Amino acid sequence: MDVNEIASVAVTLFLIMDPLGNAPVFNAVLARLAPRRRVPVIARELIIALIILLGFLFAGNAIMLFLGLSQPSLSIAGGVLLFIISLRMILPNGAESSDDVETEDPFIVPLAMPLIAGPSTIAVLLLLSSSQPGKLFHWVIALFLAWLTTTLILVASPKILGLIGPRGSLALKRLMGMILVILATQLLLNGVREFLQSL
């Protein structure tokens, strides 16, 4: 078992899930719920997100064959998508306002999907399962580690946000975004190289 590879994928998935950046959104969406109901709702939504992500991980090859997708195209698309997500994490914008999000008990949308099981996370899992299907067990472990860390942070998010404050949360989010830019660039370059080699 390649521990370094599992750790690298787990960190990548954790950065994409962005629990520190999503914590304010989670708390805003759940603000009208009684405090005793918030943890069960968060747990339910994260379990649903894990099931969705595991489904894409295990069905990655079948999905790619059905849609006629190639490995380079998925690498390039995943790199572009990650790059856009990382730029939104770094650059300030008003797109993250939760004023127009349903604030009653949410179900699947928006917490499970797209905040945790978003398109960028799904793209990375499809890429992993199709490029190295023999290491599927490794990817399951990496996904579970990223998901578990994300779950712990989001459950403890009210205390964490109170401790580091809004500016600290923004600084951490931008730092994670910078790391993700590097990962996205590498993924994009890998896809372009594979495409050129296939010509």
- Domains held by the chain: number: 1
- Strands annotated E in 10-124: none
CA atoms of 117 and 151, how far apart (whole Å): 13
2: Cβ contacts below 8 Å, ≥ 6 apart: 135, 138
Q: In the prediction, which pLDDT does 85 show?
A: 75
The two three-digit tokens of residue 49, written as one number = 């997100």
Segment 110-167, tens digit of pLDDT: 889 888 998 889 989 998 998 888 899 999 999 999 999 999 999 998 888 788 877 8
CA atoms of 154 and 73, how far apart (whole Å): 33
| Domain around 75 | 3-198
**What spatial distance separates the first Cα and last Cα of the chain, rounded to whole Å?**
34
Taking the model in full, what pTM does it have?
A: 0.80
Query: Confidence class of residue 92 from pLDDT cuts 50, 70 and 90?
Result: low
Q: H or E stretch including 100?
A: none
